[in-house]
C-alpha cells in the first residue's frame, strides 16, 4: 500500500482525477452526466432575475468537458471558459471538442480553483459560473468560493452542485471500511464489487446499482481521499464566508408545496429562502444539492423585515391564471403552474393583489405601482414571502 503520510488529501484528490478523468469519456456516460444539471431557465430566474442571457460563463471544475458542452448547447453564442486542475482531463475535453462541432469554441484551460491567483488571466468577470460535483471533494471549499466571487460580476450568479448529508457515501464509506476495505483510494477488486452488490440489495431505493458503476464513478463518488457530504446549512455557512448568499435550491419549491398541502408553511415565516431551504433540508436531508448563489451577505435576498423596499420582480418560472373565488366577491383565486418543476398550486388573493399580480406578469419584472398591495398588512407580506421561496418572484 502506498505511503500517504506526507501527501495531503488535496494532492491525492488531484492524482486520483489525473489517473481517472471524470466524467467517463465515452459518449453515453457523458450524456448521462449532462442530464444532472438543472435547467438554465431556473439558474437565470433565481440567480440572475431580470437579466438577459449570460454572455460570459465559467465552468469551474469541468473535468472532461461534459458540463461545458451542455452549456454550449444551451448558450450557443456565449463566451464559455472551462477550467480543471487535471491536464489529462483538459486534454480529453479538447479532443472531444474537435468532434462536437457545436458552434463557438469553448476555451479549455488547466487551472486550480484553490489557488490565490486563480482569477487572474481569465479575461474579466463572468455573468454565470457553474461548479457541479467539485467542491464536495476539496478540503477547504471556502477558498474556492472566495476565488469564484472575485471573478463574478456584481449581478452574477453561481450554480453549485454538491453532496448532501444523505449522500450514499456518508454511510457506505464507514461500512466498507469496517469490512476491511481501504476507502481513501479505489482498488477495483472483486471484493469491492461483491460488497457493493450487497449494499444495493439492502438499499433498493431507486438510487442506482453501485455494483455496476464504472471505476471512474466509484473513484470519485465512493472511494477517495476527501468528502464534504454536508447539509444545506453547512454549505450556506461556507458560502457566506466566500461572499455569497443562497438564493434557492431546486427542491425548495417542491418541498414547500408539500408543506402547503397541509397548511404547515407558516411555521417557517419570516425566514428568507436560504434559511428556509436549510431548515427543510435539516428535516429531510438530501443526497445532493443543486443551489443558486448570489453575491451578498446573509439575509441580503430576504423580502421580510422591511426589505420590501428592495426591487423585486417576476421570475418567469410560473404561469398564472385567475379563477372565481369561493371565499368572497372581493377575492380571486390565483392558480400557479411551473412547467420547469411540474408544480401546480393555488392561493386566494384580494382584487387589489390580483391586479398588482397581473401588472407584475405583464411587465415581466418589477411593478412598483403595485408594491403597496404587498406591504399593506401582515397577510400580504406573508404571501410575498412565500412566493419568493417558491421562486414566483425574486429580489433583484
Mean pLDDT confidence for 313-318: 92
Q: What is the DSSP letter of 105?
A: P
How far apart, in Å, are the Cα atoms of 77 and each of 34, 93, 102? 19, 19, 10
Query: What mean pLDDT comes out for the span 268-282?
Result: 95
Question: Which percentage of the chain shows pLDDT scores above 70?
Answer: 85
Strand ordering across the sheet containing 343-350: 319-324, 331-338, 343-350
d(CA 35, CA 15): 27
Q: What is the pLDDT of residue 307?
A: 47
- Give the mean model confidence (pLDDT) for residues 151-166: 96
Say if residue 281's pLDDT is above 90: yes
* φ, ψ of residue 375 in degrees (nearest 5): -115, -5
HEC string for 249-307: ECCHHHHHHHHHHCCCHHHHCCCCHHHHHHHHHHHCCCCEEEEEEEECCCCCCCCCCCH
Residue 20: DSSP 8-state: S
SS3 37: coil
pLDDT on residue 34 = 55
Query: To the nearest 10°, the Cα dihedral for 16, 36, 56, 47?
Result: -120
Q: What is the set of domains in the chain, with CATH numbers?
A: 9-165+227-295 (3.40.50.150), 168-221 (no CATH), 307-395 (no CATH)
In this prediction, residue 149 carries a pLDDT of 96
Instruction: Check pLDDT > 60 for residue 3.
Output: no
**pLDDT the model gives residue 1:** 44
pLDDT digits (tens, 9 = 90+) for 149-158: 999 999 999 9
Lowest mean pLDDT among 18-27, 74-83, 240-249, 296-305: 18-27
User: Which has the minimum average pLDDT: 130-139, 269-278, 333-342, 373-382?
Assistant: 373-382
| pTM score | 0.90
pLDDT value at 375 more than 80: no
- Parallel, antiparallel, or unpaired for β 56-60 and 126-132? parallel
The DSSP letter of residue 1 is -
pLDDT at residue number 23: 67
Burial of 231: CB neighbours in 10 Å, binned 0-12, 13-18, 19+: middle
Alpha helices in the chain (DSSP H): 9-19, 27-34, 40-47, 66-74, 87-100, 141-150, 168-178, 190-202, 215-221, 232-241, 252-261, 273-283, 351-363, 372-375, 378-390
Tell whether the model's pLDDT for residue 67 goes beyond 80.
yes
Which one is predicted more confidently, 64 or 370? 64
The confidence score (pLDDT) of residue 144 equals 97
Amino acid at each position: 500500500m502506498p505511503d500517504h503520510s506526507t501527501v495531503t488529501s488535496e494532492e491525492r484528490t488531484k492524482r486520483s482525477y489525473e489517473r481517472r478523468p471524470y466524467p467517463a469519456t465515452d459518449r453515453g456516460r457523458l450524456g448521462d452526466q449532462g442530464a444532472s444539471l438543472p435547467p438554465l431557465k431556473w439558474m437565470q430566474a433565481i440567480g440572475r432575475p431580470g437579466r438577459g442571457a449570460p454572455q460570459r460563463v465559467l465552468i469551474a471544475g469541468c473535468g472532461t468537458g461534459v458540463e461545458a458542452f451542455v452549456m454550449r448547447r444551451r448558450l450557443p453564442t456565449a463566451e464559455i471558459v472551462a477550467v480543471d486542475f487535471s491536464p489529462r482531463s483538459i486534454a480529453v475535453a479538447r479532443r472531444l471538442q474537435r468532434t462536437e462541432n457545436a458552434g463557438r469554441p469553448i476555451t479549455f484551460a488547466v487551472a486550480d480553483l484553490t489557488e490565490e491567483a486563480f482569477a487572474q488571466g481569465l479575461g474579466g468577470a463572468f455573468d454565470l459560473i457553474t461548479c457541479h460535483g467539485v467542491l464536495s471533494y476539496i478540503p477547504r471549499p471556502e477558498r474556492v468560493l472566495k476565488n469564484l466571487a472575485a471573478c463574478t460580476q456584481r449581478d452574477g450568479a453561481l450554480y453549485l452542485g454538491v453532496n448532501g448529508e444523505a449522500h450514499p457515501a456518508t454511510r457506505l464509506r464507514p461500512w466498507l471500511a469496517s469490512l476491511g476495505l481501504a476507502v481513501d483510494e479505489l482498488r477495483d477488486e472483486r471484493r469491492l464489487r461483491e460488497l457493493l452488490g450487497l449494499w444495493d440489495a439492502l438499499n433498493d431505493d431507486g438510487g442506482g446499482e453501485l455494483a455496476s458503476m464504472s471505476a471512474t464513478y466509484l473513484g470519485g463518488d465512493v472511494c477517495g481521499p476527501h468528502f464534504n457530504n454536508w447539509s444545506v446549512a453547512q454549505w450556506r455557512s461556507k458560502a457566506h464566508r466566500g461572499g455569497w448568499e443562497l438564493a434557492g435550491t431546486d427542491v425548495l419549491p417542491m418541498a414547500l408545496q408539500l408543506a402547503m398541502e397541509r397548511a404547515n408553511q407558516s411555521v417557517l415565516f419570516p425566514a428568507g429562502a436560504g434559511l428556509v431551504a436549510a431548515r427543510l433540508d435539516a428535516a429531510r436531508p438530501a443526497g445532493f444539492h443543486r443551489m443558486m448563489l448570489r453575491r451578498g451577505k446573509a439575509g441580503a435576498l430576504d423580502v421580510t423585515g422591511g426589505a420590501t423596499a428592495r426591487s423585486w420582480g417576476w421570475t418567469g418560472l410560473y404561469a398564472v391564471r385567475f379563477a372565481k373565488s369561493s371565499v368572497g366577491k372581493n377575492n380571486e383565486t390565483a392558480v400557479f403552474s411551473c412547467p420547469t418543476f411540474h408544480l401546480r398550486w393555488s392561493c386566494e388573493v384580494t382584487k387589489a393583489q390580483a391586479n398588482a399580480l397581473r401588472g407584475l406578469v405583464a411587465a415581466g419584472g418589477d411593478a412598483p405601482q403595485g408594491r403597496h398591495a404587498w406591504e399593506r398588512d401582515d397577510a400580504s407580506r406573508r404571501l410575498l414571502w412565500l412566493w419568493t421561496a417558491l421562486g414566483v418572484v425574486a429580489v433583484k
